Structure 1
Amino acid sequence: MNLRLADYIREKIEPILQDWEDFAHTLFHGEHMDKTGLRDHARVMLMEIADDLDSNQSDAKQTAKPKGEEPKSGVETWAEVHGGDRQSSGFSIVETVSEFRALRASVVSHWRQTHPALSGEQLEDLTRFHEAIDQAVAESLEKYASVKEMETRLFGAILVASPDPIYVLDLKGRFVYVNKATAELFALEPEEIIGKSTFDLGFPFAADFQRNLDKVIAEQSTHRGRFVHTFSSGEGERFDYLLAPVLDENQNAEATVCISRDVTQQALAEEKIWHNAHHDFLTGLPNRRLFLDRLEQEVKHANRSNLPLSVLYMDLDGFKIVNDSLGHEAGDQLLTDAAKRLTDCVREEDTVARLGGDEFTVIVAGAKHREDLELVAQAIIGALERPFPLPHQPVQISVSVGIASYPKDANSPSALLVAADQAMYQAKKSGSNRMCFFDRSLNNEEPSPQRRRAE
């Protein structure tokens, strides 16, 4: 009668352990270890796997195990003990993982020699055995990583956080080991991945990934990166990854471990939070916070490039009347339409922002001549004086534009904004649809409410 795999492992435990020992002797750090050290906790490991094969496995456990997610009992597992002992003995991560690969190969080889044609139950046993080994690798590497230096502890922290795809690459960037999560993510069988590089697999992030891989090998440092890609499995869009070098006994890099994580939802949520914090909710334009940050960056660029920088400060004349007479919904529509018209009047690289209420600004870089700024301001005036087709009735407003330039009119971002605001105040005093350039002789005149807020 054909034995089930659990009974077969118990019956053939010694030949399997001998294979484990023989393979461990080929590893640099196992070459001089005695039999007890080489076999480590392999016997207990195999017995636990056999017991696991005999046990009933729920659907949840069957799903969790190949991903390394099986709930912990609170008692240290044999795999965790093995990982800790191998790290203490100087084994590299590649060596530690390779022992599990050798164990997997030994059991499968013996099993197939005895059962060249597998039945349904035997195939199920073999699948569960592979899943148990995957769980063991995750537990062993987690323990291994937890006792290493900071960069390896980071590797361990990522393992603890989730059942992430883990793979090992040689010095040329070719895969030498992939776990089940990696194969599932790539929608490929492990044998279709091993020996290939990210270039061979046609991944669009391959060039950037290889550059970072080369840097990790050359500098023997860790690297955290991100790539954007949706794999054939349909999973993911944005991934973070950690590269960590594997060093041999001479402290030379011999391989690289990579752990990647799908952070699509987190990244999109962070981008949304950032966008909401830096953009006006109504118009979608940069808000005061983002405007001031960009203005500071543009001033630094102007200093480096020795090119002028100008700010146009605008206030919509007549907006309050529209808002009060037609209601806030109409006022909001007018502001939204005005923002669109302002954006259409400037270059893509110019920043249009809403500072609040009916106040808008534009950062214009590189305008060397006064006439260039006049053309921009006149285009804005012309765009905003056209009637706005609001739901109840078309309305017409005007705009006051103040213009100040760096470094001619101000020596700092905040001073430049104040100067543009003051020029806008003078334009408003002059009548509707007017532009006014900053004039130092106006410094002693009463500032506008907008200017006081800016200060």
Structure 2
Amino acid sequence: MPMGLADFIRSEIEPILKDWEAFAKTLFNARHMNKVGLRDHAKDMLLDIADDLDSHQTDSEQVAKSKGRGPTNHDASWAEIHGGDRQSSGFSALDTVAEFRALRASVVSHWNQAFSEITSRHLQDLTRFHEAIDQAVAESLEQYATVKEMETRLFGAILVASPDPIYVLDLEGRFVYANKATADLFALDLPHIIGKSSFDLGFSFASDFQRNLQKVMADKATFRGKFVHTFASGKGEKFEYLLAPVLNEDEQIEATVCISRDITEQALAEEKIWYNAHHDLLTGLPNRRLFLDRLEQEVKHAKRSNLPLAVLFMDLDGFKDVNDTLGHEAGDRLLTVVAERLTDCVREEDTVARLGGDEFTVILTGAKLQSDIEQVAVAIIDGLAQPFLISQRQVKISVSIGISCYPAHGALPLELLEAADKAMYQAKKAGANRLCFY
């Protein structure tokens, strides 16, 4: 008795699967899959088909199966499992069907090579095999569609529920999709967004955004950026966003997805942390850290531009007595008013800082003559010599000022600060309430 197709499939399953694997590798989403992933459930499907060929079928059952309407059971078939897995792996429906065509072609090719003469038994087996494949295609596509529909519903629910604006842009930078969060942020109905670009909508960040969008399309790579803008909704001010390219099967970009997030509160918190780390909490002046950073920058600028630079180091005379007699609260109030008067004595581009205690510093930029520096120092001495009204009492203090100049007294920030500090002690030794150059 000649070998039937069922036994042939079982005996030749490995060569058949090798053909299947070779074809699967040509599909876009299968290029990076391993052997197990490529073969997927093909072996189990072939063995099920072989068992089906051995089973008895009526004429009506054969007709139904040829139309993909064969009997089903409660357990998922291997074809259904295959269809669901392929959808989850990103395969298109056409690719999934193409795999079954390849499986059909592989079996028929090996069968024809093995038998030069086709008997009626062979024809009957081939007919039933084609019917079984048609049934498998139908089951696979039905499950593919079911999973796809569920995925679409879930994805849609995620987009609707997402608090972050998510939108899709075409190759010209026009909106082709926008979720509810986007419409709420823009304070626009979807018909007024779709088909428009960021330029059309009048966004202040449009130029930078479009330039980054073109970079994503050119590089086919994601991009993270930030922008500042107040939308019509009044929501947020500072935003970060992610641009990601959407590639087709030929790895050509067909759209770009953008996910943005309101980081206004986060940015304000970070700014507050930075401010507190670089400013004196009592007076609001730059602290030692920020002062040295600015002094370093000013020294670099002075070196490049060949301009002079002066550092004033100040220590209050009589502050300890105020603190001891009127208390620390009065002392803090005095330091606050001193900071205000010092700021009034210099230009906006100059830096006034509190290093700690009753020590203050000033960076004077562009003072070409010593007399210009002296003029500012005398203004400070006279300004702080005026009485202060603290705790309903008039308080008088004075200030001793030491001055160093770049590059004469140092080429590095710390050298200039130390030189000014030493000059300040000379001023104190000379009777206080005066200035002294290093």
Tell me the residue number matched to 2:415: 415
Give the superposition deviation at 1:233: 2.8
Change (3 A) 1:45 1:208: closer
Give the counterpart letter for 2:169 in structure 1: L
Give the counterpart letter for 1:33 in structure 2: D
Q: State the distance in 2 between where 1:421 and 1:300 align.
A: 21
Tell me the residue number matched to 1:174: 174
Match of 1:33 among 95, 98, 107: 95
Q: State the distance in 2 between where 1:378 and 1:416 align.
A: 20
Change (3 A) 1:39 1:419: farther
1:266-345 map, 5 Å: 266-345=266-345
1:48-127 map, 5 Å: 79=151, 100=152
Q: State the distance in 1 between where 2:200 and 2:267 align.
A: 28
Q: For the aligned residues, what is the CA RMSD?
A: 2.7
Give the superposition deviation at 1:196: 0.8
Q: State the distance in 2 between where 1:259 and 1:328 align.
A: 52
Moved more, 384-393 or 247-256: 247-256
Tell me the residue number matched to 1:42: 145
Give the superposition deviation at 1:246: 3.3
Q: State the distance in 2 between where 1:396 and 1:293 align.
A: 33
Summarize deviations over 1:299-348 as a string: whole Å, max 9, x none.
22223222222211111111111111111111111100010111111111
Q: State the distance in 1 between where 2:435 and 2:142 align.
A: 85
Q: State the distance in 2 between where 1:40 and 1:305 align.
A: 73
Is the CA contact 1:134–1:180 (under 8 Å) kept in the aligned structure 2?
A: no
Tell me the residue number matched to 1:370: 370
Change (3 A) 1:394 1:184: same
1:343-358 map, 5 Å: 343-358=343-358
Give the counterpart letter for 2:192 in structure 1: E
Summarize deviations over 1:362-383 as a string: whole Å, max 9, x none.
1122222212211211121121
SS at match of 2:353: strand
Give the counterpart letter for 2:362 in structure 1: V
Give the counterpart letter for 2:145 in structure 1: A
Q: Give me the identity figure in percent.
A: 67
Is the CA contact 1:279–1:285 (under 8 Å) kept in the aligned structure 2?
A: yes
SS at match of 1:284: coil
Q: State the distance in 2 between where 1:344 and 1:40 align.
A: 77
Give the superposition deviation at 1:193: 0.5
Is the CA contact 2:299–2:411 (under 8 Å) kept in the aligned structure 1?
A: no
Is the CA contact 1:173–1:197 (under 8 Å) kept in the aligned structure 2?
A: yes
Q: State the distance in 1 between where 2:184 and 2:329 align.
A: 51
Q: State the distance in 2 between where 1:214 and 1:386 align.
A: 62
Give the counterpart letter for 1:277 in structure 2: A
Is the CA contact 1:30–1:38 (under 8 Å) kept in the aligned structure 2?
A: no
Change (3 A) 1:45 1:213: closer
Tell me the residue number matched to 1:405: 405
What is the count of residue pairs matched by the alignment? 309
Summarize deviations over 1:119-159 as a string: whole Å, max 9, x none.
xxxxxxxxxx7xx55225689xxxxxxxxxxxxxxxxxxxx
Is the CA contact 1:381–1:399 (under 8 Å) kept in the aligned structure 2?
A: yes
Summarize deviations over 1:165-210 as a string: whole Å, max 9, x none.
1112223321122122212222222221111111211222223322
Q: State the distance in 1 between where 2:411 and 2:303 align.
A: 10
SS at match of 2:95: coil
Q: State the distance in 2 between where 1:243 and 1:342 align.
A: 48
Is the CA contact 2:278–2:286 (under 8 Å) kept in the aligned structure 1?
A: yes
Q: State the distance in 1 between where 2:388 and 2:186 align.
A: 53
Give the superposition deviation at 1:261: 0.6
Moved more, 36-45 or 298-307: 36-45
Change (3 A) 1:39 1:190: farther
Change (3 A) 1:262 1:412: same
Is the CA contact 1:355–1:361 (under 8 Å) kept in the aligned structure 2?
A: yes
Q: State the distance in 2 between where 1:137 and 1:389 align.
A: 62
Q: TM-score, normalised by structure 2?
A: 0.65
Give the superposition deviation at 1:242: 1.6
Change (3 A) 1:296 1:250: farther
Tell me the residue number matched to 1:445: none
Change (3 A) 1:246 1:379: farther
Tell me the residue number matched to 1:425: 425
Is the CA contact 1:213–1:243 (under 8 Å) kept in the aligned structure 2?
A: yes
Q: TM-score, normalised by structure 1?
A: 0.62
Is the CA contact 2:93–2:144 (under 8 Å) kept in the aligned structure 1?
A: no
1:134-283 map, 5 Å: 134-135=156-157, 163-248=163-248, 251-283=251-283
Q: State the distance in 2 between where 1:414 and 1:361 align.
A: 13
Summarize deviations over 1:344-397 as a string: whole Å, max 9, x none.
111112111100000001112222221221121112112111111212211111
